[in-house]
Every structure is written in structure tokens, then in C-alpha cells.
Amino acid sequence: MTDIIEIQDLLVRTIIGINPEERENRQDVLINLKFAVDIRPAGQSDNIEDAVNYRTICKSVFSFVESSSFMLVEKLCEEIAIICLKDRRIQTVWVSVEKPGALRFATSVGITIERSQDV
């Protein structure tokens, strides 16, 4: 059995892209995270120590992305996954990063990756 924790639509401004104007001006990125976790220990104990503290992870991701400066969304996704998987209770993470307005005639363009703990 796998339980899912979701963080939806985390909006962060960062330097991302390969074009000169993208290297100078912060852009909005929209981040969605899903964690595969066994929440039974927290569900039984009602104790934060038994839970994945998604608020802490969200703050870590936000701070990291806000201060980052990557060329590729692919790299940003990989780094966010690494941050999330530092909590060994997270078995698998799905990271989606979108750049709203990055393509003409498209609302957004984005990438989704899935990464798991090394066994």
C-alpha cells in the first residue's frame, strides 16, 4: 500500500533559461510535488515526529529554487527531487516544474520526473 502526499502549485520566482533575458530576469515557475509515503505511523500516533513534515520540505524547495540559477528545467527538477528524497520515509517523488508563458500560444510548458530512493 502506498499513500500519497501532494503539494500543488507552489509558485516561485527564479532565474531559469538559456536566453539572455532569462538569465537576467526572474521568472515564475510552478512546482507540484507528490510523495509516496507510508503515513500509517503518523495516522496511528497523531505525532508530527512520525510524519513527513511537508511544510519543512516545501520551505526547503522554495528557498533552494528562489536562490537557484539553472539553464534547464530538467536540472531544476533533478535538484528538487534530491531535496525531497533526503527524507528517507519518502519512497518515491514526482516533481513537476512548469514555466508559464514560456511558449507562444501555450499556457505553460513543463517537465515531470519520477525518482525513488536508492535501494
pLDDT in tens, 42-60: 999 999 999 999 999 999 9
Q: What average pLDDT does the chain have?
A: 95
Cα dihedral sign, 12-78-102-17: positive
Per-residue pLDDT at 43: 95
Alpha-carbon span 33 to 54, nearest angstrom: 10
Q: Does domain 3-116 have CATH number 3.90.1720.10?
A: no
Look up residue 88 and give its amino acid.
Answer: R
User: Residues with catalytic annotation?
Assistant: 99
Q: Give the global pTM.
A: 0.93
